[in-house]
């Protein structure tokens, strides 16, 4: 009984639904199975939390499992998600999984109406007793409302076909306590994408992960690095995917995973109601997800279309080697968070002053000038006007560009005064025009602030040269 003991990387498979949402998209599911197997995974886990099992009818769960087993075709083992808050249904699904050819079942702690420890033990015991294949216990307190008791786990570990436990809590002290108490009897598997490397290093035998739908190959490399005790490589890889893992975990698993796969051209459709991809992932989160996929080589980086203008010249600032006006430039950051600035400072009565007044008075749509303000009712001095060289197309972009840029430019001008780059006389006599190039599709406000400040200080310090 229960001879299969899971080790390695297992994707917690999403379930592709048909466009009308009424059934399983069999072709899409088969393509996904092929993709993750090609990524080197050790097995497959359909119909779990990431698979939206709670939104699936009994016959749909059975069909999805049968499709996965058929497509896997013995290449890798299959652990069937057979969890239910009802013991009767959990037993029924477990028996079907055994008959269908699954190697093990994944059984979650009953949810909604949670039993006490005795009831929890009895639930798992009845499922395990009804089948001969292996049983994997499933701890996911964020969905069940509580941890699977350590004492219950110790008792269940004595059952011959209870062979493993998936811990999706992300709570490493709990994971380590399980390893200490039952690690010699059952395999502990990490189910939380953000703590895979430390869990494996501590002794977990593998991981069942939502993000393994997207990056199975990288998680396999993490696992193999731990197996050969190359902690440096494992840590490097974990940190490389950490932001993606964080997005997946914190935005509901199935929603961002399906969004990512669709971006990658692996069409899997949408989640079922009440989960709705469009309403649950903000534009900013979707763009963060896209950027992470680009960084990991899962998407080809596409440069956004940008019509950038030379606003200083358009305003009549006499820029060039033959003129007395100097323009100082600076840039900082990478990719969509890269910021470039051009700064011109001069007398209120000169050409820069006239250009400043023109820019302040003429609010051209998409390139509206904005005063650099340190705090409400406190302008930077000398008076500084910010000019976005790339067109602002909507309120989200305006918030991204104007918010952090306004604060960063004001701080840079103030610091330039304190460093003696700008004199007290200049504060009273001059005005400044700062042409700023920021990608309107940037998503990291903190990075935009930091890069704007760095670019502005680079430009201002050139005034000393």
Q: What is the CATH number of the domain that holds 278?
A: 3.20.20.70
Inside any domain, residue 305: no
Q: Among 238, 261, 295, where does a domain finish?
A: 295
The structure's pTM equals 0.71
Q: Is 227 marked active-site?
A: no
Which residues, in sequence order, are CB contacts of 283 under 8 Å at separation 6+?
A: 396
CA distances from residue 108 to 50, 79, 375 in whole angstroms, order as listed = 13, 13, 52
Inside any domain, residue 146: yes
303 — pLDDT class (breaks 50, 70, 90): low
Q: Which of 62, 63, 121, 138 is catalytic?
A: 138
Q: Are residues 271 and 316 in the same domain?
A: no
Q: Are residues 21 and 113 in the same domain?
A: yes
Region 114-133: mean pLDDT is 96
Q: Are residues 243 and 328 in the same domain?
A: no
Q: Among 250, 265, 295, where does a domain finish?
A: 295
Region 123-138: mean pLDDT is 98
Q: Are residues 367 and 223 in the same domain?
A: no
For residue 368, what are the domain limits? 311-464
Looking at 46-50, 209-213, 427-431, which range is the least confident one? 427-431
Q: Are residues 112 and 19 in the same domain?
A: yes
Q: Are residues 241 and 333 in the same domain?
A: no
Q: Are residues 240 and 98 in the same domain?
A: yes
Which residues, in sequence order, are CB contacts of 206 under 8 Å at separation 6+?
A: 6, 7, 8, 9, 10, 42, 187, 189, 190, 200, 223
Flag whether pLDDT at 323 surpasses 50: no
Flag whether pLDDT at 307 surpasses 70: no
Q: Are residues 230 and 257 in the same domain?
A: yes
Flag whether pLDDT at 226 surpasses 70: yes
Flag whether pLDDT at 346 surpasses 70: yes
Q: What does the pLDDT read at residue 281?
A: 76
Per residue in 134-158, pLDDT (tens digit) is 999 999 999 998 999 999 999 999 9
Q: What does the pLDDT read at residue 170?
A: 94
C-alpha–C-alpha distance, residues 23 and 439, integer Å: 41
Q: What does the pLDDT read at residue 72?
A: 98
Q: Are residues 286 and 374 in the same domain?
A: no
Q: What does the pLDDT read at residue 422?
A: 86
Looking at 214-223, 292-301, 348-357, which range is the least confident one? 348-357
Inside any domain, residue 134: yes
Q: At what angle do helices 283-295 and 231-250 cross, to 10 degrees?
A: 160
Q: Which of 166, 205, 258, 270 is catalytic?
A: 166
Looking at 229-243, 282-296, 305-319, 394-408, which range is the least confident one? 305-319
Flag whether pLDDT at 81 surpasses 70: yes
Q: Are residues 29 and 57 in the same domain?
A: yes
Inside any domain, residue 102: yes
Q: What does the pLDDT read at residue 388?
A: 84
Flag whether pLDDT at 279 surpasses 90: no
- Give which of 344, 286, 340, 276 is closest to 314, Cα–Cα: 344
Inside any domain, residue 274: yes
Flag whether pLDDT at 106 surpasses 90: yes
Q: Are residues 129 and 94 in the same domain?
A: yes
Flag whether pLDDT at 393 surpasses 80: no
Region 281-287: mean pLDDT is 74
310 — pLDDT class (breaks 50, 70, 90): low
Looking at 178-182, 369-373, 374-378, which range is the least confident one? 374-378
311 — pLDDT class (breaks 50, 70, 90): low
- Please give the residue that has the higher pLDDT: either 289 or 71: 71
Inside any domain, residue 302: no
Q: What does the pLDDT read at residue 1?
A: 61
C-alpha–C-alpha distance, residues 101 and 323, integer Å: 81
Q: How many domains would you assign to the chain?
A: 2
Q: Are residues 364 and 224 in the same domain?
A: no
Q: Is 270 marked active-site?
A: no
Q: Among 261, 295, 329, where does a domain finish?
A: 295
Q: What is the CATH number of the domain that holds 395?
A: 3.30.230.60
Per residue in 252-276, pLDDT (tens digit) is 889 999 999 999 999 999 898 887 6
321 — pLDDT class (breaks 50, 70, 90): very low
Inside any domain, residue 303: no
Q: Over the chain, what is the mean pLDDT?
A: 89
């Amino acid at each position: 009984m229960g001879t299969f003991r899971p080790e390695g990387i297992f994707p917690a498979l999403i379930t592709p639904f048909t466009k009308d949402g009424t059934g399983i998209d069999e072709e899409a599911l088969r393509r996904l199975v092929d993709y993750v197997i090609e990524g080197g995974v050790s097995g497959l886990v359909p119909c779990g939390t990431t698979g939206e099992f709670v939104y699936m009818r009994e016959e749909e769960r059975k069909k999805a499992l049968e499709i996965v087993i058929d497509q896997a075709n013995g290449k890798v083992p299959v652990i069937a998600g057979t969890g239910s808050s009802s013991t009767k249904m959990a037993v029924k699904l477990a028996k079907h999984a055994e008959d269908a050819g699954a190697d093990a079942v994944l059984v979650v702690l009953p949810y909604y109406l949670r039993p006490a420890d005795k009831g929890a033990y009895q639930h798992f015991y009845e499922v395990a007793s009804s089948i001969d294949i292996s049983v994997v216990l499933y701890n996911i307190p964020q969905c069940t409302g509580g941890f699977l008791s350590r004492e219950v786990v110790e008792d269940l570990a004595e059952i011959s076909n209870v062979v493993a436990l998936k811990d999706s809590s992300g709570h490493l002290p709990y994971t380590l306590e399980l390893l200490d108490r039952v690690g010699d009897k059952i395999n502990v598997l990490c189910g939380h994408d953000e703590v895979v490397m430390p869990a494996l290093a501590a002794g977990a035998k593998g991981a069942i992960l939502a993000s393994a739908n997207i990056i199975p190959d990288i998680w396999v490399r993490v696992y193999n690095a731990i197996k050969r005790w190359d902690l440096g490589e494992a840590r490097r890889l974990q940190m490389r995917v950490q932001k993606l893992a964080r997005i997946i975990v914190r935005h509901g698993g199935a929603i961002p995973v399906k969004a990512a796969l669709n971006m990658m051209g692996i069409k899997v459709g949408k989640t079922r109601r009440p989960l709705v991809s469009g309403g649950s992932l903000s534009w900013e989160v979707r763009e963060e997800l896209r950027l992470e996929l680009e960084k990991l080589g899962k998407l080809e980086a596409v440069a956004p279309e940008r019509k950038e203008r030379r606003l200083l010249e358009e305003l009549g600032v006499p820029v060039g080697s033959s003129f007395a006006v100097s323009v100082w430039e600076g840039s900082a950051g990478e990719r969509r968070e890269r910021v470039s600035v051009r700064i011109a400072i001069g007398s209120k009565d000169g050409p820069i002053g006239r250009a400043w007044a023109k820019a302040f008075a003429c609010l051209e749509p998409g390139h509206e000038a904005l005063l650099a303000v340190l705090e409400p009712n406190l302008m930077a001095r000398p008076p500084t006007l910010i000019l976005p060289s790339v067109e602002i197309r909507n309120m989200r972009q305006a918030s991204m560009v104007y918010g952090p840029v306004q604060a960063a430019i004001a701080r840079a001008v103030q610091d330039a005064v304190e460093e003696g780059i700008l004199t007290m006389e200049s504060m009273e006599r001059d005005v400044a025009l700062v042409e700023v190039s920021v990608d309107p599709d940037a998503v990291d406000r903190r990075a935009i602030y930091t890069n704007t400040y760095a670019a502005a200080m680079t430009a201002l310090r050139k005034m000393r040269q």
